[in-house]
């Protein structure tokens, strides 16, 4: 049991990393559920990478990276909305244009500065093992706000996920609640990047929610599975990182993907076995 408990009981930085990772898991599970249900993985990926120039500029001028990430996310969402509304281009095209544009701009800014080596690693892969109590408190507040938003908007979000036309008939503004959902996803990315990094937050958004979608038919149950898988991935990933001296953020995200494929394989094996039994019964 020492292998599973001692790393957290004997090291305060490991315990703080576990708490921070669990909070990230909850916020990413809430936002990720709607990303998966609505097929918004592309915009989730774009937001996770598109905030890079904002973070880079904020660090260069001495501001917190989270402020830059927030500005970058708002610029992304505003740009996507503007292009979609003022042209005949699809939202995917608008997302793709801003995604590659913002990412290229971020890389260009970083390449011009020689002081970014350590900062770039922290931006891309997070610093979960060096997370501060202040950052944990910010993550806690953000998680509560994200969960509250999903709760208050649960009905329109659910209708948007399955039948946008029905949402309109029910009296909900599709555009308004779509934008609220995008802002919720953006807030999740902005707050979570300091823990698991911009490259890895996308995995936390998609993999646990994807695994939950394989097991549940109701949104609440899917979200509960996603939270469980996210927290479990954080715990296992931190243990692997501690015992094998691996990057913690990458280990956590890799575990989320492994869990998804384990669930996927088991689900398909059970479905195939049930189909065989049904065939034998009918035969």
pLDDT at 279: 52
CB 22 within 8 A of CB 234: yes
Helix (H) or strand (E) holding 1: none
Task: Provide the pLDDT confidence category of residue 280 given band limits of 50, 70 and 90.
Answer: very low
Mean pLDDT of 3-16: 92
pLDDT at 274: 59
Q: 2-282 architecture in CATH?
A: Orthogonal Bundle (1.10)
Tell me which residue has tokens 């950052």: 135
Most confident of 72-86, 109-123, 220-234, 244-258: 220-234
Give the total residue count for the chain: 283
pLDDT at 283: 52
Question: Percent of the chain, pLDDT > 90?
Answer: 51
Instruction: List, in order, residues 6 or more apart from 190 with CB less than 8 Å away.
Output: 51, 66, 69, 70, 73
pLDDT at 277: 47
Positive or negative, the CA dihedral 258, 264, 267, 272 is: negative
Domain spans, the chain: 2-282
Helix (H) or strand (E) holding 62: none
pLDDT at 223: 97
Structure pTM? 0.89
Instruction: List, in order, residues 6 or more apart from 269 with CB less than 8 Å away.
Output: none
Please say if the pLDDT value at position 120 is more than 80.
no
Please say if the pLDDT value at position 260 is more than 80.
yes
Q: What does the H/E/C string look like for 134-202? A: HHHHHHHHHHHHHHHHHHHCHHHHHHHHHCHHHHHHCCCCHHHHHHHHHHHHHHHHHHHHHHHCHHHHH
Count, in order, helices (H) and strands (E) of the chain. Answer: 14, 0
pLDDT at 118: 58
CB 142 within 8 A of CB 216: no
Tell me which residue has tokens 């097929």: 39
- CB count in 10 Å sphere of residue 117: 9
Q: What is the mean pLDDT of the chain?
A: 88
Task: Provide the pLDDT confidence category of residue 56 given band limits of 50, 70 and 90.
Answer: confident
Task: Provide the pLDDT confidence category of residue 49 given band limits of 50, 70 and 90.
Answer: confident
């Amino acid at each position: 049991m020492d292998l599973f408990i001692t790393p957290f009981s004997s090291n305060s930085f490991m315990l703080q990393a576990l708490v921070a990772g669990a909070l990230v898991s909850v916020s990413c599970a809430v936002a990720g559920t709607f990303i998966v249900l609505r097929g918004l993985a592309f915009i989730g990926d774009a937001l996770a990478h598109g905030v890079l120039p904002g973070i880079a500029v904020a660090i260069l001028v001495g501001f917190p990276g989270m402020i830059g990430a927030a500005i970058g996310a708002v610029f992304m969402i505003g740009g996507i909305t503007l292009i979609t509304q003022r042209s005949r281009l699809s939202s995917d095209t608008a997302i793709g244009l801003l995604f590659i544009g913002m990412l290229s701009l971020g890389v260009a800014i970083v390449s011009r500065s020689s002081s970014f080596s350590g900062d770039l690693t922290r931006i891309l892969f997070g610093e979960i093992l060096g997370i501060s109590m202040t950052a944990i408190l910010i993550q806690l507040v953000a998680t509560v706000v994200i969960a509250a938003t999903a709760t208050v908007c649960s009905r329109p979000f659910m209708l948007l996920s399955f039948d946008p036309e029905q949402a309109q008939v029910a009296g909900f503004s599709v555009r308004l609640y779509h934008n609220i959902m995008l802002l919720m996803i953006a807030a999740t990315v902005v707050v979570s990047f300091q823990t698991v990094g911009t490259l890895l937050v996308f995995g936390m958004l998609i993999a646990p929610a994807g695994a939950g979608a394989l097991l549940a038919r109701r949104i609440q149950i899917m979200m509960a599975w996603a939270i469980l898988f996210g927290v479990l991935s954080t715990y296992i990933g931190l243990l692997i990182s501690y015992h094998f001296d691996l990057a913690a953020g990458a280990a956590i995200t890799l575990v989320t993907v492994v869990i998804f494929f384990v669930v996927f394989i088991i689900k398909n094996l059970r479905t195939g076995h049930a189909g065989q039994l049904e065939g034998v019964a009918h035969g």
